[in-house]
């Protein structure tokens, strides 16, 4: 049977990567976290002083250095997906609020999107891939066999993200976490190039009151229906 391409898009902190990892493991597929790639570009820009929450982006600097960045994924000893930027493990740093506060400014730059979309398309060219992000079903893999659009209530998303940050010792007020999610969603939905929008043929999954297991089994049902 031909391996599927599974595209998972949706709002910030809706559990896209949790579901994508579960599916990739169960199906023996490759998992690609496209958001980690935007976060890595944003981290590089922060380190070089090309972006800040206050002053916005220096687009020409960021765009000019795209080709010099090497963004890879590898599995660590625990089998956890880890993001590398020019060979350096940046998995934890890219998830910090410092990066979350600027990533959507970087992700709206057209050359950044073109560059990362072409890398993502190459990673998934043979199928057998689960990729999550904002434009996977609309732009990266418009022919994906299964497209899922995930959403959840604002309160649920903010408390899940706060718990994730707390667990890493990065303690923030829930109000600041919520504000970050809302402002990223707004920027992601309003940008001109490949805005966050559900593909017409996407199946919507609102997991506000679903457990991980419930949502996983529902999606496995969708996969099984495609494989019949």
Residue count at the site for ligand CDP (CB under 6 A)?
15
Asked if residue 184 binds ligand CDP (CB under 6 A), the reply is yes
Q: Does 5 bind ligand CDP (CB under 6 A)?
A: no
Is the torsion defined by CA of 79, 45, 116, 184 positive or negative? positive
Contact track, ligand CDP, 13-42, x by CB under 6 A: x--------------------xx--xx---
Q: Which is nearer to ligand CDP, 13 or 44 (CB)?
A: 13
Q: Which is nearer to ligand CDP, 27 or 41 (CB)?
A: 41
Closest to 26 in 3D by CA, of 221, 220, 227, 213? 220
**Cα→Cα distances 167→56, 61, 125, 160, 161, Å:** 29, 35, 36, 11, 10
CA–CA distance from 81 to each of 21, 149, 190, 196, 203 (Å)? 9, 22, 30, 24, 26
Answer whether 186's CB lies under 8 Å from 196's CB: no
Is residue 12 involved in binding ligand CDP (CB under 6 A)?
Answer: yes
Q: List the interface residues with ligand CDP, window 142-171 (CB under 6 A).
A: none
Q: State the minimum distance, in angstroms, from the CB of residue 118 to ligand CDP.
A: 13
Q: Which residue is nearest to ligand CDP (CB)?
A: 35
What whole-number distance in Å separates Cα of residue 221 and Cα of residue 106? 36
Interface positions with ligand CDP (CB under 6 A)? 12-13, 34-35, 38-39, 103-104, 107, 133-136, 184, 188
């Amino acid at each position: 049977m031909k391996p599927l391409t599974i595209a998972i898009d949706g709002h910030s902190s809706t559990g896209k990567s949790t579901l994508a990892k579960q599916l990739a493991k169960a199906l023996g597929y490759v998992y690609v976290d496209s958001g980690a790639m935007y976060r890595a570009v944003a981290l590089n820009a922060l380190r070089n002083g090309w972006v800040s929450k206050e002053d916005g982006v220096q687009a020409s600097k960021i765009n000019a250095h795209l080709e010099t960045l090497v963004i890879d994924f590898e599995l660590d000893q625990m089998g956890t997906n880890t993001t590398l930027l020019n060979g350096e493990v940046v998995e934890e740093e890219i998830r910090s609020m410092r990066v979350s506060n600027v990533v959507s400014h970087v992700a709206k730059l057209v050359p950044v999107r073109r560059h990362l979309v072409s890398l993502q398309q190459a990673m998934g060219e043979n199928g057998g891939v689960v990729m999550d992000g904002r434009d996977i079903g609309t732009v990266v893999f418009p022919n994906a066999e299964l497209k899922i659009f995930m959403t959840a209530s604002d309160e649920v998303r903010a408390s899940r993200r706060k718990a994730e940050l707390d667990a890493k010792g990065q303690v923030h007020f829930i109000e600041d976490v919520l504000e970050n999610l809302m402002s990223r969603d707004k920027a992601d939905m309003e940008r001109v190039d490949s805005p966050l929008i559900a593909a017409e043929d996407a199946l919507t999954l609102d997991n506000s009151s679903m457990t991980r297991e419930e949502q996983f089994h529902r999606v496995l049902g969708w996969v099984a229906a495609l494989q019949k």
